[in-house]
Structure 1
Amino acid sequence: MPIRSFLPLAALLSLATAAQTPFRPQQPAEHISAAVNYEALFSAPTINGPYGASNAFSDDSWSLMSFGYADPLRCFGTDKETPFDVAIIGAPFDTTTSYRPGARFGPMGIRQGSRRMHIGSINVPYKTRVTDHLHVVDCGDVPMTFVDNKVAIRQLETANADLVQRSSATAFNGSSIAKDGKFHPRVLTLGGDHTITLPLLRGVAKVYGPVSVIHFDSHIDTWRPGTYEGGPWLPGEEVPVTHGSYFWYAAQEGLLAPNNTNIHVGIRNALQTWGDYENDYEVGFVISHAEDIEEVGWRGIVKRIREVVGENPVYITLDIDVLDPAQAPATGTPEIGGFSTREIKQILKGLRGLKIVGADIVEVAPAYDTQAEITQIAAANIGWDILALMAETPLSD
C-alpha cells in the first residue's frame, strides 16, 4: 500500500492524542517571575528617542497616544490639581459645518499625525526644545454632544475656561499680561469645525480681555447671520452660529481687539456680494489674500501681520484649508491655490515674539485624507511649531 494511504489515519491518531493531552507550552524562567523592572524595560532610549525624563516609564504611565507624546492628564478628573503650562485638548465637533462633515474625528487624526514627533525633541528652525520651557499635557477630548450645537459649544466653553483660569506650573519672570496679574496655562485645541473658535475666545477673553486674532484660512468666516425670504427660519427665529459666522458673533460679544487689529491670512474664497468685504471690515479684520505671497513673499505677509496686531495679546486660529488641497486634502471646504507646508512654516516662524495666549487647529477631516495621512501630519507639525512659539515667549511684560 502506498505511504500516502496511511496519512489520513495518521492525522486522526494525532488529533485523538492531542485531545487527550493538554498543550502546556514551556515558559522561560524570566516570564515566571513577577519581579520585572518595567521602568527599565520600557524606558530604553531606543523607544521614541532619548528625550529625557518625560520619556521615562513609571508605575503611573498611561501608554496612550497623546499629541507628540505629551503627558496624558485627566484634567477634569483625578488629575485636576496637577499644574501645567499648556493643555492640548480635542474638540470632536462638526455639526455646524456647511459642506463635508468629518472634522469631529480631527483631534485623534492630528494625534495620529504626531506619532513621529516628540515635544521633547529640538525644533531646529526655532532652535528650541518646548519641554525646556513649558510643561505640556494632553487632556484628551472634551465630551461634546452631537445632538445639540448649543450644548456642545457650552461644553467646550466651560472646559476651556476652566483650564485657562487655573494657575500655570511655571512662574515666569516679569509681570503677567493677564488681567489678574497671575500666570495662567495656555490651550492648544485640536478641532473640530471652525465654530469652536467662538467658545475658545470666550474663555481667553475672561483672562486677557479682547485679543487680536491671526486667522489662517481660505474663508473669511465673518458672514452676518440672517434669515432669507422663503428660507426655513420663521420670523424672529434665531439663526444658529456656524463655521462661517462665528467671528461675527465674537465681534458682537467684544472678544476681538478693536481698531481692526485682527487679520485673515490666506483668503481666496468666493463671495456672495462685495458687501461681504465691508461687513468683514466692520467685524474688525483686515485681509491678506493667498495670492499676496506671489508678490510680497512670506516675509511680506509676516510684516503685514505684525503691523496689524502690534503688541496686542494674540490668538492664532488655523483652518487646515489655508494649505493647498494638494498638500492637505482632508478638509471640509477645500480651495485650490493655498499655501504650501513650507510657506506656512516660514510664516509661523516669522511670528516669534508675539504673545500668543492660545491657539487652535481646525477642520481636519481624516476620512478624506490619503493613505499617507498627509493632512494629519501637516496639522500635527503646525501644532508643534505653535508650541515652539509659545515656549519662546512667556506671557509677561
Structure 2
Amino acid sequence: MVALVSAPTNLGLRPPVRGGVPGTAKAPEALREAGLHRRLHAGGAVDAGVVLPGRYVDDDGRRPKGTVRNQAAIVDHARRLAHRLFEIRESGEAPLVLGGDCSLVIAAGLASRVSGGGGLVHIDGHTDFRHPGNSAAVGSVAGEDLAIAVGRHAPELAGIDGLGPYFDAGRVAHIGHRYEDAFAEEVRDAIALVVPADEVILHGAARAASRVRAIEGRGRDYWIQVDVDVLDPVHMPAVDSPDPGGLAPDELTALLRALAPHAWGASVTVFDPDLDPGGGHASTLVDVIAEGLAELGTALRED
C-alpha cells in the first residue's frame, strides 16, 4: 500500500531572486488540488501526514565557508522525515514523499541505513554531484544531493549521526542528465550505473530499468528519487533549472512504472507551483506520478 507523505521543503534551493523564497514548498498541496491524492486513494493509497521543514533563510554572505544554506534546518528536517519513513517501511507500506526539493534524499538515506539498507535510483536532469572537492560553489543541497547520498560531501550532511554513506555506491544508479553536465564523468567513476537522458530517449525506458535491476541484484529494494527537471522544459518548465534535452512525460512514466514495484519508497521533487500559475504542469505531473508510481513496492510485498 502506498503511504503519501507531504514534505514541503524548499531549504535546499537557491533563492529565485535575492531575498526571495523558492516555491517548491507549495508543491504537495498543488498536486493535491490537481487530483493526485484522489487518484492514488482510488487505488488504495493512504495519507501518512506532513513533515514540515524549518523556515527558509537566504543566508548567502553570512553562513560559514564550506556550509550550505539552511544547513541546520536541512539536517533537522532529514532526521524527522527519516523517522516517519522508517515507521512506514516497518509497517509494510511504501512511502511516497511529495516534495519539496532534492534534500529529501538525505532522509531517505538515513531511513534506509537504519531499516535494512537498499539501493538508490536517482532520476534527475542533472547529476547533482557538486561537493567541496570539485567546486568552490557549494551552497545548495539541491545541486549536491547525489554526492551527499554516497558520502562525497561534508560529514555534517553526508554522515549525520555517523550513518554515512547512506547508500552503497555499488547499488546507486543515476538516470536522466544531459551530456553537457559538468560532473558526469566523475559520477561514472563514483557509482554503479549512469544513464543519460539521450540513452533513455534512444533505447527506451525498459532497457534503462533492466540495467538498474541488474545492479541491484536479488534484493532489488531501492529508493527512487525523481526530480521533475528530468522532463524536457517543453513539458515541464515549472522547475528552478530547466534544461533542454529531457524526457517526455510518457518516457518518464514508463521508466517509473518499470522501477516502482521493487522500490521500497520514492520521492518527487523540485516542482514549483509559482512557475505554474495556470496549473497545467501540475496536471502533467499528476498523470506521471499516478500512472508511474501506483505499483510502488508491490513486488517487495509479494516476496
TM-score range, shorter chain: 0.7 to 0.9
Q: For residues 214 and 285 of structure 1, what CA distance do their matches in structure 2 show?
A: 10
Q: CA deviation at 1:149?
A: 1.8
* Among candidates 278, 284, 289, match of residue 378 of structure 1: 284
* Among candidates 291, 297, 306, match of residue 198 of structure 2: 291
Contact 2:85 2:108 in 1 (8 A): no
Q: CA deviation at 1:341?
A: 1.1
CA RMSD, 1 decimal: 2.8
CA offset digits 1:330-363 (Å, max 9, x no partner): 1010011211111111222222542x12110000
Which amino acid is 1:257 matched to? D
Which amino acid is 2:166 matched to? L
Which amino acid is 1:139 matched to? G
Match of 1:201 in 2: 109
Contact 1:351 1:389 in 2 (8 A): no
Matches within 5 A, 1:226-305: 226=133, 242-252=141-151, 253-259=164-170, 261-268=171-178, 270-272=180-182, 276-305=183-212
Q: For residues 266 and 226 of structure 1, what CA distance do their matches in structure 2 show?
A: 23
Q: For residues 141 and 353 of structure 1, what CA distance do their matches in structure 2 show?
A: 25
Structure 2 residue runs of 5 or longer lacking an equivalent are 17-21, 58-68, 152-163
Which amino acid is 1:363 matched to? V
| Cα pair distance change 1:118/1:396, threshold 3 Å | closer
Residue 151 (str. 1) matches residue 78 (str. 2):
no
Contact 2:40 2:294 in 1 (8 A): no
Contact 1:357 1:395 in 2 (8 A): no
Matches within 5 A, 1:8-47: none
* Among candidates 131, 134, 153, match of residue 224 of structure 1: 131
Q: CA deviation at 1:370?
A: 5.0
Partner-residue secondary structure (3-state), 1:351: helix
Contact 2:127 2:187 in 1 (8 A): yes
Residue 89 (str. 1) matches residue 10 (str. 2):
no
Which amino acid is 1:246 matched to? D
| Cα pair distance change 1:366/1:269, threshold 3 Å | farther
Question: Normalising by structure 1, what TM-score?
Answer: 0.61
Contact 2:175 2:195 in 1 (8 A): yes
* Among candidates 346, 351, 358, match of residue 254 of structure 2: 346
Q: CA deviation at 1:153?
A: 1.8
Contact 2:122 2:146 in 1 (8 A): no
Q: CA deviation at 1:365?
A: 0.5
Partner-residue secondary structure (3-state), 1:208: coil
Residue 308 (str. 1) matches residue 215 (str. 2):
yes
Contact 1:218 1:335 in 2 (8 A): yes
Structure 1 residue runs of 5 or longer lacking an equivalent are 1-84, 122-129, 169-181, 232-238
Seq. identity, % = 22
Q: CA deviation at 1:258?
A: 3.8
Q: For residues 86 and 135 of structure 2, what CA distance do their matches in structure 1 show?
A: 40
Matches within 5 A, 1:34-113: 86-98=2-14, 100=16, 101-113=22-34
Matches within 5 A, 1:299-338: 299-311=206-218, 312-338=220-246
Q: CA deviation at 1:141?
A: 4.7
Which amino acid is 2:105 matched to? T
Partner-residue secondary structure (3-state), 1:165: helix
Question: Normalising by structure 2, what TM-score?
Answer: 0.78
Higher relative contact order (CA closer than 8 Å, sequence separation 6+):
2
Q: For residues 116 and 165 of structure 1, what CA distance do their matches in structure 2 show?
A: 22
Q: For residues 393 and 136 of structure 1, what CA distance do their matches in structure 2 show?
A: 18
Could you list the structure 1 runs, at least 4 aligned residues long, displaced by more than 6 angstroms after superposition. none
Q: Which structure has more helix as a fraction of its residues?
A: 2
Partner-residue secondary structure (3-state), 1:295: helix
Match of 1:365 in 2: 272
Which amino acid is 1:164 matched to? L
| Cα pair distance change 1:195/1:344, threshold 3 Å | same
Q: CA deviation at 1:326?
A: 1.3
| Cα pair distance change 1:117/1:166, threshold 3 Å | closer
Q: CA deviation at 1:320?
A: 0.6
